[in-house]
Chains A and B, each alone.
Chain A
C-alpha cells in the first residue's frame, strides 16, 4: 500500500512535467505576445520587458529558466497582472475557489445521496420517476444557464440572496448550489442504481429477516455498500467542479482562480497559464490518489495494484 502510494506520487512527476512543458511551450510558440498593447511599443522597450521576465532568447533557454524556478517553488511573475507573482495570485485566489468547490462538493454529495436513496426506496413509483426526471434535468442544464435563472429568481425577483460578490455566508449559497447541481444529479443517479442492486443482495434479505426496521436495513447495511461507486466517481466529479467553478466565478464575480486563468490564457501569459495548469493538475492527481486509497480502505475486495 505504501509502496503503491509512493509509486503513484512518483508517477505524477513526469505527468506534471509533460503538462507544464506542453503549456509553456504552446503559449510561447503562439504568435500572441504577452506584452503587446493597443499602441505600438518601441522595439527596445519590448526587448527590455522580455529580458526582465526571462522571456528573451531561444525557447528552450526560456523554458530551462522557468523550470529551474519551478523546481525551487517559484512560479515566476505574471505578465498579465504585472508586478504580482504567480505564487501570490494563486495564494490569494485558490483558497476562494477551494472554499466554493468544497462546499459545492459537499452539497452535491448531500443532495445526491439523499435524493438517490429516496428514489431507490420508491423504485418505479411516482417519487422515483420525479427524482430521476429532476436528476436528468440537472445533468442537462449547464451551470451557466441555471445560474442566471436562479439569480433572476432569488436575487432579482424574490430579493432574498445577493446576486454578486464574495465574503459573507449568503453570498456563497447561490454559487455553490448552482455549481453542485449537475454533480448532485449524477450522484443521485449513481446512488439510485447502485442501491437498487444492493437491495437485491442476500445480506439485505438476512437483515430484513432478522427483523431490523427498514430504516436500519437501509442506512446501516445497504447504503454503506451502495456508496462505493460514488467514491469511484469522486475523481471525475472533482475535475468537473474545478472547471465548472471557472464559469461560476465569472458569473458571480467571485475572486477565485478561474477568471484569472481564462484571462491569462487569452493574453498569452506563459507563467500564469502554466502555473494554474500545474496547480490544477497536481490537485486532481492528488485527489484521485486519495479517492483510490479511500476506495481500497472501504472496500477490501478492491486490489491495489
Chain B
C-alpha cells in the first residue's frame, strides 16, 4: 500500500488527525526554527528571575532568569529528538528480532519469545536508570577521547537504552504478522524458485510490514518521550543547562508552595508536552484503527 494512499484512507476516517499532524508539524518547526527568533538563548542567565509572562518574555522567566519560551522550545528539541532517535533504535531492534523469530519458527521462535517475555517481566526503566547513572562517567571519557562534543554523553546513553527497552511490543506484533505472511503462496513460490531467506525477508516480507510498522512507530514515539521525561524529572535525564520538558516540569514542581504561585513555570512546559503526547497518541490510534488488519473488521 502506498504511503500517500493509506494516509488518505486514514484521514477520511477521522479528519481530526490532520489537526494533530499539523500541530506536531508546528511544534517541530518552532523547536527547530522558531527557537532562533525568541531573542534569547536557552542557557542565557539574567537577573530577571521568576517574571510573569509579559511582552519581553512571552512565557515568563524561571528561577535563574532564563527566558521560559526559549527553554520550552529547547525542551521540545530535546524531547522530540530523543524520542525520534530512540524510536529508530527500538524500531531496528524490534523489527529485526520479530522478523527473525517469526520466520525461523519452531524452537528458535519459542526461545526468542521466551526472552521477550522475561524482559517484559523486568522493571526495565529501573534498569535504565542504573545503566545511565553508572555509565555516565565512562561514556563521558570515551566521548572526550573521541572528540565528540555535539551531543552530551548522557543524552546518548538515554537515547540508546530507552530505544533498547521499548522494542518488545514491536517485536511481538511483527512476529505475529510474519507467522501469517510466511505461509502465504507468494512466499512459498519465492522459496521454491530458490530465493534465499534474506531475500525473502527483505524483499517480500518486509514490504508487507510497513503499514503496521508505521502504526507502532507512532505509538513508540510518545512512549519513549514519556520515559525520557520521567528520567529527566528524577534527575537521571538530560544534564543542565540543557532542558527537556521533563526537567522543566521538575523545576516548576520544586517551586510549588502555598504562598506564591508560579503557574507559568508549570503550565507552559506541561501544556506543550501533554498536547504533543496527545497528538501523537491520537495519530497512532487513528493509524492503527485504519491500517492494522486485526483491529479493522
Interface residues of A (CB under 8 A from B): 11, 15, 19, 22-23, 26-27, 29-32, 136-137, 139-142, 144-145, 147-149, 151-152, 155-156, 163, 235-236, 239, 242-243, 246-247, 250-251, 261-262, 265-266, 268, 273, 276-277, 280-281, 284-285, 287-288
Contacts and interface: CB of A to CB of B under 8 A. Distances in A.
6 contacts: A26-B130, A235-B121, A236-B120, A265-B134, A266-B133, A276-B126
B249 A145 contact: yes
Interface string B218-236: 0000100010011001111
Interface string B107-138: 00000000000101111111101110111111
B266 to A, nearest CB: 6
A157 to B, nearest CB: 9
Question: Dominant SS at the A interface?
Answer: helix
Give the size category of B's interface with A.
35 or more
Interface centre among A29, A140, A149, A242 (most CB of B within 10 A): A140
B78 interface: no
Contact of B134 (A30, A142, A242, A250): A30
Nearest to A259: B234
B285 interface: yes
Contact of B266 (A31, A149, A155): A149
Nearest to B277: A140
A26 B235 contact: no
Contacts of B250: 144
Nearest to B266: A148
Given A152-B256, A262-B129, A273-B130, A141 B277 contact: yes
Nearest to A136: B281
A285 B234 CA distance: 25
Contact of B274 (A22, A141, A155, A239): A141
B53 to A, nearest CB: 17
Nearest to B250: A144
Contacts of A27: 130, 134
A247 B276 CA distance: 21
A29 B135 CA distance: 9
Most buried by B among A23, A32, A247, A251: A247
B122 A265 contact: no
A30 B121 CA distance: 26
Nearest to A250: B234
